């Protein structure tokens, strides 16, 4: 159960290629239009490229960084043909992702030294938060871990019921006290159960309300505090789930959540149904928070560990 290393399987890579198909097609169509009739990368091509990246949901600030890097290469190499543009773009995006604390993962695993390893999951309603937790628990169980789920999104009956169904489907225990109960009490019992039953991973679902950041902050702080009564270092990971299909709205959500609580990792879902996959690059760059998982389809195995090399390769695969 090594934390890093290994290679993507053929099946994973095919799933990733398929999941990013819409983004890739959109990107190459726009790139093709940007360089039509051109032989070299000049100011006009760079202006067009800037528009391509912004309309691909990479984000303005990240786009400016990428353009500046390409400008430096043009100045250094004196001449760059437009036939090299996608290769250069691929290299610069891979380099940018390397600077954002995102390490390449090849499998579902947890760091050694913390048992149980406690993950607190945050995100607004509708982003696929509970489904991501269900798929994640299935992947961890498949990897040989003992998993416990805590249904602490108690303000929404559907979230509690959905998590219980996932627990039954996957075969992992779910600690629930029903709707309209104290979320921190659920988190406390889930961590307590995890400690007493030798769990490897405890995943806590939390409420997805953002209309009042003060309340959200207080609630998440309280959940953290009560979990620490059983595991002093909990939570070991605060994972923010974002819906990739919402493009720049996902960026806004990330901004709001990072103000309300410390976020240590990202899961970006629903990339298969959209041409907005560029948002993964923008969010990773803007917040310097590692992307840990991406959702590229509806099947359990379509929740993948994020591997920046494989991601960029799929994005630019011809």
Retrieve residue 312's tokens. Answer: 């960029």
**219 and 207 in contact (C-beta within 8 Å)?**
yes
Q: What is the mean pLDDT of each run of 10 residues along the chain (318 residues)?
A: 50 91 92 86 92 93 95 82 86 86 78 92 92 97 97 90 96 95 95 97 88 77 92 96 93 89 94 91 92 93 92 88
Q: What is the pTM of this model?
A: 0.92
Task: Return the SS3 of 259.
Answer: helix
Question: Measuring CA to CA, how many Å separate 157 from each of 86, 162, 167, 204, 269?
Answer: 47, 8, 16, 16, 22
Report DSSP state, residue 40.
B
Can you give the C-alpha Rg of the chain in angstroms? 21
d(CA 127, CA 256) in angstroms, rounded, equals 15
Residue among 298, 306, 308 nearest 132 (CA): 298
Strands 291-295, 303-305: pairing kind: antiparallel
d(CA 245, CA 235) in angstroms, rounded, equals 28
CB atoms within 10 A of CB 120: 26
Residue among 147, 99, 67 nearest 286 (CA): 99
Strands 291-295, 265-269: pairing kind: parallel
Beta bridge partners of 150: 175, 204
d(CA 294, CA 303) in angstroms, rounded, equals 6
Residues 6+ apart with CB under 8 A from 114: 231, 233, 236
Phi, psi of 258 (to 5 degrees): -70, -20
Task: Return the SS3 of 36.
Answer: coil
Report DSSP state, residue 68.
H
């Amino acid at each position: 159960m090594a934390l890093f290393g290994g290679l993507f399987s053929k099946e994973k890579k095919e799933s990733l290629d398929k999941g990013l198909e819409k983004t890739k097609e959109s990107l190459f169509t726009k790139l093709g239009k940007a360089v039509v009739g051109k032989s070299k990368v000049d100011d006009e091509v760079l202006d067009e490229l800037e528009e391509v990246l912004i309309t691909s949901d990479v984000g303005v600030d990240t786009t400016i960084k990428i353009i500046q890097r390409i400008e430096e290469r043009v100045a250094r190499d004196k001449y760059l043909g437009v036939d090299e543009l996608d290769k250069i773009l691929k290299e610069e995006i891979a380099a940018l992702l390397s600077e954002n604390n995102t390490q390449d993962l090849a499998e579902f695993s947890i760091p050694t030294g913390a048992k149980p390893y406690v993950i607190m999951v945050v995100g607004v309603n509708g982003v696929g938060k509970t489904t991501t937790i269900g798929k994640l628990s299935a992947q961890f169980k498949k990897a040989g871990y003992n998993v416990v789920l805590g249904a602490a999104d108690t303000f929404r009956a559907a979230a509690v019921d959905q998590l219980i169904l996932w627990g039954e489907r996957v075969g992992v225990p779910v600690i629930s006290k029903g709707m309209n109960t104290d979320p921190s009490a659920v988190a406390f019992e889930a961590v307590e159960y995890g400690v007493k039953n030798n769990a490897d991973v405890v995943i806590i679902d939390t409420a997805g309300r953002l209309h009042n950041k003060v309340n959200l902050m207080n609630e998440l702080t309280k959940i953290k505090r009560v979990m620490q009564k059983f595991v002093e270092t909990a939570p070991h990971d605060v994972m923010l789930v974002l819906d990739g299909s919402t493009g720049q709205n996902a960026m806004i959500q990330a901004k709001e959540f990072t103000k309300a609580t410390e976020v240590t990792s990202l899961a970006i879902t629903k990339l298969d149904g959209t041409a907005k996959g560029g948002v993964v690059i923008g969010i990773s760059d803007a917040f310097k928070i590692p992307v840990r998982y991406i959702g590229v389809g509806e099947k359990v195995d379509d929740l993948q560990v994020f591997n920046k090399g494989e991601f960029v390769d799929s994005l630019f695969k011809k």
